[in-house]
Every structure is written in C-alpha cells, then in structure tokens.
Amino acid sequence: MADLHFDGSVWCNINIALCHLETMYKQETELLGLTVIEWCVLQMLYDKDGQMASRLADGVGRAATSFTPILDKLQDKGFIERRSHPANQRAIRIYLTAEGKKLEELVRASVERIESRLRRQLSDAEWQVYQCVIEDLQSLTL
C-alpha cells in the first residue's frame, strides 16, 4: 500500500505532489526568466501560434477573466503580441514575437529535462497509469 499522508486524502496528497513538482518546474523556468504558467503558454504557442486568448487560458487551466495579467507579463517581456481577430474585433489572438520564438529551443529542452527526470522516477507501467489518472482528473466536470 502507498505511504500517503492525511489518510489518503486526495486533495491533500495531490497538493503535496504539486508542491514538489512546482519546485522542480520553477528550477527550470526561472532559468529562462519565466513563471511556470508563462512557460506553459509559450509551449502552447509553439505548437500553434495565433491562438485565441480564451483558448490559451482554457489550455493552461485558468479562467479567461483572470488570464489577462499573465498575457500582460509575457507581452511586457517582449515574447508575445496581441492582435484583434479579423472577423471579431473583440476577440484577441496571441502571437509569438521574434523574441518569443528565440526561446523555443530552450523551452523545449527544459520540457525534455523535466519529463526525463519524472520518467526516471516511474516505471513505464506507472507512467501510463499516471497519464490516465491525470487525464481523468482533468476531465472532471465541475
């Protein structure tokens, strides 16, 4: 049986795990001058530039109403720019700047280092279970 804290309380144990993971991720992202959430947004833009701000917010698990400060900081750092959607002036698309594109190789390398570090902790079977559990937790309806 697993040695979990708080009699196996789901939230308490996930929170402890997240604290440990956050420390590991911060070690990587701070080297790039980014927060973890900024790092995630950039990854989404590397996969598909010009996404709607609301889609990016949803993709990183943030409410669109609280996402503006994150975009402001990325814009202040010179990594993104906002452009109005041609068909809907109220909708905003987010694009990488040349400076943001320059970080891609470093961001992707940091992703590989983190995943490699996590993979060393888990067997292949455990990694598969982890991915299934995370997918199930992410799809919970509120």
Give the pLDDT confidence of 86-104 residue by residue, as tens digits.
Answer: 788 778 899 999 999 999 9
Structural domain count, the chain: 1
Q: What is the per-residue pLDDT across 43-63, written as a single tens digit (0 to 9) for each?
A: 999 999 999 999 999 999 999
Residue 11 lies in a domain: no
Q: Phi-psi category of 104—alpha, beta or left, where left has phi over 0 and alpha has psi -120 to 50?
A: alpha
The CA distance from 126 to 123, in Å, is 5
The CA distance from 137 to 14, in Å, is 11
Helix (H, G, I), strand (E, B), or coil: what is residue 85? coil
Residue 80 lies in a domain: yes
* 129 pLDDT tier (thresholds 50, 70, 90): very high
- Mean per-residue pLDDT of the chain: 91
What share of the chain in percent tops pLDDT 70?
A: 98
pTM, whole model, 2 decimals?
A: 0.86
CATH number at residue 77: 1.10.10.10
Domain extent, residue 91, equals: 18-138
CA distances (Å), origin 76, targets 4, 71, 80, 82, 123? 42, 8, 8, 11, 41
Does the pLDDT value for residue 1 go beyond 70? no
Residue 116 lies in a domain: yes
